């Protein structure tokens, strides 16, 4: 898979950083972006799984319950993506960090 990153997608570091500090800043931003992507992916997965659970009638399916379940899915996805997560974000980071490291 050949992936290229448009230079405008990586947030600019503060102007006073040296070359190594700038690369470190960019790598940190890339890691955060990869974790965020993984969290979004996991949240979508949780929502898809929840749709397949049959409604047993114990709890009413009202708007408040739906909002609470969406917030719960979002928080669980963020927690799942922390650290190495399920591996998608880490793999993306590994594949794309070479672009930042090889920049002049």
Q: Six-digit token pair at 83?
A: 């650290």
User: Is the sign of the CA dihedral 19, 21, 26, 30 positive or negative?
Assistant: positive
pLDDT value at 5 more than 70? no
Tell me the per-residue pLDDT of 57-90, one tens digit each, with 9 for 90 and over: 776 778 888 899 899 999 999 999 887 788 999 9
Domain ranges of the chain: 17-101
Number of H helices, E strands in the chain: 3, 0
Tell me the per-residue pLDDT of 6-57, one tens digit each, with 9 for 90 and over: 666 655 656 676 778 888 888 999 999 999 999 999 999 999 998 888 777 7
Q: Six-digit token pair at 60?
A: 């009413």
What is the structure's pLDDT at 82? 85
The pTM (predicted TM-score) of the whole model is 0.72
* DSSP of 14-52: PTT--HHHHHHHHHHHHHHHHHHHHHHHHHHHHHHHHHT
pLDDT value at 1 more than 60? no
Distance CA 19, CA 16 (A): 10
- Rounded to the nearest 5 degrees, what angle is found at the Cα of 66, between the Cα atoms of 64 and 67? 65
What is the structure's pLDDT at 51? 84
Neighbours of 52 (CB within 10 A): 6
Q: Six-digit token pair at 41?
A: 């992916």
What is the structure's pLDDT at 34? 92
């Amino acid at each position: 898979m050949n992936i290229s990153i448009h230079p405008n997608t990586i947030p600019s570091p503060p102007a006073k950083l040296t070359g190594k500090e700038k690369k470190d800043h960019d790598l940190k931003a890339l890691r955060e972006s990869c974790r965020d992507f993984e969290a979004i992916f996991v949240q979508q997965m949780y929502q898809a799984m929840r749709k397949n659970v049959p409604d047993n009638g114990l709890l009413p399916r009202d708007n408040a319950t739906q909002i609470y379940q969406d917030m719960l899915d979002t928080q669980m996805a963020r927690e799942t993506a922390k650290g190495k997560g399920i591996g998608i974000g880490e793999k993306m980071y590994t594949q794309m960090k070479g672009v930042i490291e090889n920049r002049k």
